Amino acid sequence: MSIIVDKNTKVVIQGITGREGQFHARQMIEYGTNVVAGVTPGKGGQKMDDVPVFNTVAEAVKETGANASMVLVPAAFATDACLEAVDAGCKVVVLITEGIPQQDMIEVYHTCKEAGVTLIGPNCPGIISPGQCKIGILPQDIFVEGPVGVVSRSGTLTYEVVDGLTRKGVGQSTCIGVGGDPIIGTTFKDVLVDFDNDPETKAVVLIGEIGGLDEQDAAEIIKDLKTPVFAFIGGRTAPPGKRMGHAGAIVSGKGSTADAKMEAFRAVGVPVADTIGELVDMAVASV
C-alpha cells in the first residue's frame, strides 16, 4: 500500500518544457507515473513527447483530470505556480524548487492548509510509492515495494537509507522528502500519522537534522502510534549559528540542536541510530 500518491494519481508538471522539467518528466513516465499534462505559459497546444502542454493548470485539470502537480519552475515563479495549482483543484502539490523567499512560503502554506491540499516541500526531492507513482527527482532505481516507510529532511540521506534497505532485501511503502527549508508544507508529524494509518507500513524510518522543532513535534505524538519509528539526526557536529546545507538546518537555540532532538525521541522510546548503517539494520530487524 502507499500514502498520499498511488497508481491512480494523475500528475501535471508545471515547467515541463524546461530542461529539468523534460528530464524528470521522462524519468517519471518511464517509472510508470501517470503524467497526464504539462504546463508552460505561452506553450499551450504543444507536446513534450506524448504529454500535452497547456497554458494554465486550470486548462490541464479540466482536460485531463489531473489531481496532483509537480512544481519545477524557477523560484521567482514558484509561489504563483503553487497558488495556481491549488486554485485549479489539485489536491497534492510537490514543490521541488529551492530558494523561495520565506515570506512567499507563508502565503503558500496557509493557502494549501485552507484548501485541504497536501503540500510537499519546498526544496525537496519529492515522493515515491515504489511500483506505483513517483513525483519528484528521486533516483527511482533504488526503490522497491515493501513494508518500511521513509520520511526525511535530507534527500541524500534518504537515498542512502533506501539503498541500504533494498540491498538487504527490504522494500519501502512510500518515501517522502519533506524538504529542508524553515517553512514546509508536510511535516514529520503529518507523515507519521499517515504511515500509522497504512496497514502495510510495518515500520518507519525518520531522518531529521538540526534546526527547527519538527522532530520534537513528531516525538510528542509517537507514543500514541502503533507503528515503530527509528530515527537518525544529522548535523551533530554543526556549530551554533552556522547553516549546514539546508536553509532550515541551523542551530538557533537549544531546542534545535541534534542532542535536543535525539533526547526528545529517546524520551518516547524511539531508537536513535548513530550511523545510517545502524539505522538500516534497526529497520530491517523490525520487519
Q: Active-site positions?
A: 246
Q: Is 19 helix (H, G, I), strand (E, B) or coil?
A: helix
Residue with cell 525521541: 265
Choose among 103, 54, 56, 100: nearest CA to 77.
100
d(CA 175, CA 127): 6
Question: Are 175 and 128 in contact, with CB atoms under 8 Å apart?
Answer: yes
Does residue 266 sit in helix, strand or coil?
helix
CA distance 238 to 21: 34
- State the pairing for strand pair 34-39/92-95: unpaired
Grid coordinates belonging to 204: 518507519
Helix (H) or strand (E) holding 128: strand 126-129
Q: β-strands 68-71, 126-129: how paired?
A: unpaired
